Amino acid sequence: MNVAQSTERIWKDVPSLSSANELSRRSLIGHLGIEFVEVGEDYLKARMPVDDRTRQPLGLLHGGASVALAETLTSWAATLTVDPNEATCVGMEINANHLRPASSGWVTGTARPIALGRRTQVWEVRISDDEGQLICVSRCTMAVIRRPTSGDPSVVPSVGRA
């Protein structure tokens, strides 16, 4: 497994935030108001409103909404590190530690790779509120699934991109 370094460019091609936002618009991602806002050499950033769509009945950001933001970031980020003609990425495991509540404004998540392997990737997502306070830390393990090649029955069938 290759450990990602902050100075290393990890993307297979230059990621398009507008394409990611457009493709996500009609999915859970769009319903929650998640917007991709920044891409760097080794990170992907998105934000999500803390509003009636993402709060639980007590008025606080729902933990599941934070996990949805984290998985959205890692699914897109992992997929953008592989050649789409050769592989796709899907989530295998996710965990989250909810550190403090948020009740309004926006939360912003930043996904960075911990390890980028040929078959698995591990990503960390740090989610902060408008004041920069850390509200959640999540880790997601992604499976890198090869796309089938003609005549190779051992390859897993193609899975849709994030």
The CATH number that applies at residue 140 is: 3.10.129.10
Query: Is residue 73 one of the residues assigned to a domain?
Result: yes
Residues marked active site are found at 71
Q: Does a structural domain hold residue 140?
A: yes
**Among the listed residues 83, 84, 95, the one whose alpha carbon sits nearest the alpha carbon of residue 160:** 84
Residue 127 lies in a domain: yes
Q: Whose structure tokens read 């926006």? A: 106
| Cβ-Cβ contacts under 8 Å for 80 (sequence gap 6 or more) | 11, 12, 13, 15, 44
Q: Which domain holds residue 94?
A: 17-146
The answer to whether residue 122 sits within a structural domain is: yes
Residue-wise pLDDT for 70-111, tens only, equals 999 999 999 999 999 999 999 999 999 999 999 999 999 999
Q: Which one-letter DSSP state was computed for residue 55?
A: B
| Confidence band for 47, pLDDT divided at 50, 70 and 90 | very high
To 5 degrees, how large is the angle CA 127–CA 81–CA 119? Answer: 100
Separation CA 111–CA 125 (nearest Å): 4
